[in-house]
Structure 1
Amino acid sequence: MTIENILLIGGSGYVGRHLMNALARRNVRITVPTRRRERAKYLLTFPMVDVVEADIHDDATLARLAAGQDAVINLVGVLKGGNGKTDGRPWGRGFDRAHFHLAGRVAEAAQAAGAQRLLHMSALKADAGAPSAYLRSKAAGEAAVRDAFPAATIFRPSVIFGQGDSFLTVFAGLCAMAPMVPLACPAALFQPVWVEDVVNVMAECLDRSESAGQTYELCGPKIYTLIDLVDYAGKTAGSPGNIMPLGDIPSYLQAWLLEIVGGPMTRDNYWSMQVPSTCERGDCGELPFGRRATPLEIVGPTYLADGRRRAGFDDLRETAKR
C-alpha cells in the first residue's frame, strides 16, 4: 500500500501543523482545505502542501477534494459547541456540525472516492452516555465514521501538550498575570500526551495495514490532577501562581459565568472534566507500534520557560488576524 496523496482536513489547526511536519518527511502530496487561505499562508512553506479555499461542510466540495486521494485525515474539533439539543440529539449546534455531521460526511466522501485509508481524530472517553455534550458528540462522530468507512483508524487522545498548545501555555500565562488563580475542577484527572507523539503515531499508521479499523487511545506516561498541571506550568514558566482550588458548586458557577461572557470555559467543559481523561490501561505511557510516550517533564521546560512571551505573541497574531 503506497500513500502518495493525502487530504488533511483541519490541517491549519494545532495538531494539523505538527502533523504536517511529520507527513512532510514522507514526501507525500498534502491538500489542506481552509475557509480563508490568507489565514493559513504559513502552511505554504511546506513544498508538498497545496492550501485551497473550500467549504468542507458542502458535500460536493468534499467529494471533489477527496477524489484521487490515497488517504483522508480528519482533525476537526471544537471545544465549545453550545448546550441543549439539536434536532433531537443531545448536544449543541456547534458540536453537531463539527463532530457529527462533518465526521460522517468526510467518511462518506473518502469511501466514495476509493481512499485506501481514513484517519479520524476523536477524544478520550467519548461515549454516548457521557455527561458532556462534547464527549457524546465525539462518540456519535465515531459511529458515523464507522458506518461509512469501517476500516477507519480512530484516535482518542487525552489533552495534548507541546509547543504552541492552548493548555499548559495558557495556565503559565495566567499564573504570570493573575495574583490569584481561582481554579475550577482542581481534582480533574488528565494524562497529557505530547503532540509529537500523537502525530508520529498517526503518520506511522499510514504504513501499517494492521491499524485499519482500530481505535487507539493516546496518553502520556503519568496521570495528573488539574491543579498539579497548573502548578507545574506556572513554576516551570518561572511564575509560580497562587492557586485557589474551587469546590464543586463554585466550579460550576465559574463555568457558567465564563460561558455567559464568552470566556475560556463553559458548563459543558465542566461536565467533561467530571470524566477522568485517562487511558484504560492506566499510568504506563504505552503507545501503538511499540512506541513510548514522552514525559511532560522532559518537554515542558523546552517551551514553558518562555510561555508568557509566546502567549503574548499569539494574542498579537490573533488580533492582527495573522
Structure 2
Amino acid sequence: MAKHTICILGGSGFIGTTIAGRLGRDGHRVIVPTRHRERSRHLLPVPNVEVVELNVNDEDALVEAFQDCTAVINLVGILNELSGPKGEGFRRAHVELPRRVISACQRAGVGRYLHMSALGADPEGPSLYQQTKGEGERLAIAAHGDGLSVTAFRPSVVFGSGDSFFNRFAGLLRLSPGFMFLPTPHAEFQPVWVNDVASAFIRCLEDQATGGQVYDLVGPKRYTLEALVRYTARIAGIRRHIVPLSDGMSRLNARLLGLVPGKPYSLDNYLSATVPNVSDDNGLPKLGIHPTAVEAVVPTFLGPHEKNNRYQSLRREARR
C-alpha cells in the first residue's frame, strides 16, 4: 500500500484510536483534529500520528487541515443529545458535520472520503439517531464522483478492549444491588470486533472498486440484548439477577433515565432498539475479512485474568 496522509475526525475515540494506531504503525501520516489536545494525549506516543487542535465546525479550518491529505475518515457520532433543542445535536454531528467535511474535501482536492454510518441508519427510521445517520450517509454517497471517491460503513455494536458496550454493562452489573432491570431484552444485535472494523476502513483506503459502496459490518453471530448481558455477567464473574422489562416498562424506563444527568439511556435509544441491529449482507467477507466472534475476544478483557488478558489483547490489536 502506498503511504498516505490521512485526517481522521473522531480519531481519539474507541474506533478511531484503533484505526489511527494501525495506520500510524504502518507508516502512514495520520492527523487527528481535536478541540482539546490534552484529551487525546493517549495518541501522542503512537508513531506518525499528529494531534492538532482544530474547530471542526469551521469549514475553512478543515480545508486548511485537509490540504496535504490523500484521504479523510469521518468517525464522528453521538448516541444521545445531552443538551439543546431536540434533534439539534444529532443533526449537528451526523448531518451538518458530514456536509461540511465533504465540502472541505472537495475544496482541498482530497481524493478519498471514508464515512462512518451505522447499521439501521435510515432517514425514515424511528429514532433521531437513525434518521440523522441515514441523512448523513445519503449525503456522503451522493458526493461520490467528480474527483472524490466515497465509501460508507454501517457497523453493528462495536466491541473490544475499552468498548462502551460490554464494559458498560459489566460496570452496571457490578453497581447493581443484586439484580438489574434490562429494557428491550429482545433487541437483536450482531456485534463486530473493532479490529475487523479498522481492517475494513484500511482495506478500502486504496481499493477504488469500493468507491460509491456502503458496507454493513457485523460479526458472525446474532444475539438478543438479554443474551449478551447474561454472557457479560458470566464472563466477568458477576452474579446478578437480570430482570427483563416488558416493552411498556422499557419505554417508561427510557423516559425516566433520559432525565438523569448524562442520559445513561433515553427514549431515542429505546426507539433505535426497536429495529433489529443485524444484517444478512455482511461486508467483511466481501473485503476479505473473516468476522471475529464475541467469544474469541470478550474473555480477554472481561475474564478472571482480565488485567493480563487486556494487556495481551492490546498487544494483539497493535500487532506486536
Query: Normalising to structure 2: TM-score of the pair?
Result: 0.90
Separation of aligned partners in 2, 1:102 and 1:286:
27
Separation of aligned partners in 1, 2:305 and 2:187:
23
Structure 1 residues 156, 81: CA separation in 2 closer, same or farther (over 3 Å shift)?
same
2:155 is aligned to: 157
Whether the 8 Å CA contact 1:14–1:164 is kept in 2: the answer is yes
- Does residue 125 of structure 1 match 2:89? no
SS in 1 for 2:264: coil
Shift of 1:198: 0.4
Shift of 1:286: 4.8
Separation of aligned partners in 1, 2:203 and 2:235:
32
1:167 is aligned to: 165
Structure 1 residues 141, 307: CA separation in 2 closer, same or farther (over 3 Å shift)?
farther
Residue identity matched to 1:295: A
Write the mapping of 1:248-267 to structure 2, written as runs, cut at 5 A. Answer: 248-262=247-261, 263-267=263-267
The worse-fitting range, judged by mean Cα deviation, of 94-103 and 17-26 is 17-26
Shift of 1:46: 1.3
SS in 1 for 2:44: helix
1:38 is aligned to: 38
**What is the identity percentage for the equivalent residue pairs of Structure 1 and Structure 2?**
44
- Does residue 186 of structure 1 match 2:164? no
Structure 1 residues 158, 166: CA separation in 2 closer, same or farther (over 3 Å shift)?
same
1:135 is aligned to: 130
Separation of aligned partners in 1, 2:305 and 2:268:
27
Structure 1 residues 286, 5: CA separation in 2 closer, same or farther (over 3 Å shift)?
closer
From 80, 94, 97, the counterpart of 1:99? 94
- Does residue 209 of structure 1 match 2:201? no
Shift of 1:135: 0.4
SS in 2 for 1:287: helix
Whether the 8 Å CA contact 2:63–2:108 is kept in 1: the answer is yes
Shift of 1:83: 10
Structure 1 residues 82, 21: CA separation in 2 closer, same or farther (over 3 Å shift)?
closer
The worse-fitting range, judged by mean Cα deviation, of 50-59 and 139-148 is 139-148
2:275 is aligned to: 275
1:177 is aligned to: 175
Structure 1 residues 34, 181: CA separation in 2 closer, same or farther (over 3 Å shift)?
same
Shift of 1:280: 3.0
SS in 2 for 1:81: coil
Separation of aligned partners in 2, 1:300 and 1:42:
22
Whether the 8 Å CA contact 1:221–1:286 is kept in 2: the answer is no
Deviations 1:140-192 (A, max 9, x none): 11122233344311000000011000101111122223111100000000000
Separation of aligned partners in 2, 1:130 and 1:302:
35
Structure 1 residues 24, 112: CA separation in 2 closer, same or farther (over 3 Å shift)?
same
Separation of aligned partners in 1, 2:82 and 2:274:
18
Separation of aligned partners in 2, 1:288 and 1:113:
31
Structure 1 residues 97, 286: CA separation in 2 closer, same or farther (over 3 Å shift)?
closer
Deviations 1:22-60 (A, max 9, x none): 212321111110010111111110120111111001111
Whether the 8 Å CA contact 1:11–1:17 is kept in 2: the answer is yes
1:314 is aligned to: none
Whether the 8 Å CA contact 1:237–1:307 is kept in 2: the answer is no
- Does residue 246 of structure 1 match 2:245? yes
Whether the 8 Å CA contact 2:3–2:27 is kept in 1: the answer is no
Separation of aligned partners in 1, 2:6 and 2:53:
16
1:109 is aligned to: 104
From 142, 150, 153, the counterpart of 1:147? 142
Whether the 8 Å CA contact 1:30–1:50 is kept in 2: the answer is yes
Shift of 1:252: 0.5
1:75 is aligned to: 75
Whether the 8 Å CA contact 1:183–1:227 is kept in 2: the answer is yes
Separation of aligned partners in 1, 2:269 and 2:59:
30
* RMSD of equivalent CA atoms: 2.1
Q: How many residues align?
A: 303
2:62 is aligned to: 62
1:313 is aligned to: none
Residue identity matched to 1:189: E
The worse-fitting range, judged by mean Cα deviation, of 14-23 and 181-190 is 14-23
SS in 1 for 2:287: helix
Separation of aligned partners in 1, 2:34 and 2:46:
16
SS in 1 for 2:258: helix
Shift of 1:82: 6.7
Shift of 1:309: 8.0
- Does residue 21 of structure 1 match 2:21? yes
Separation of aligned partners in 2, 1:32 and 1:233:
32
Whether the 8 Å CA contact 2:76–2:94 is kept in 1: the answer is yes
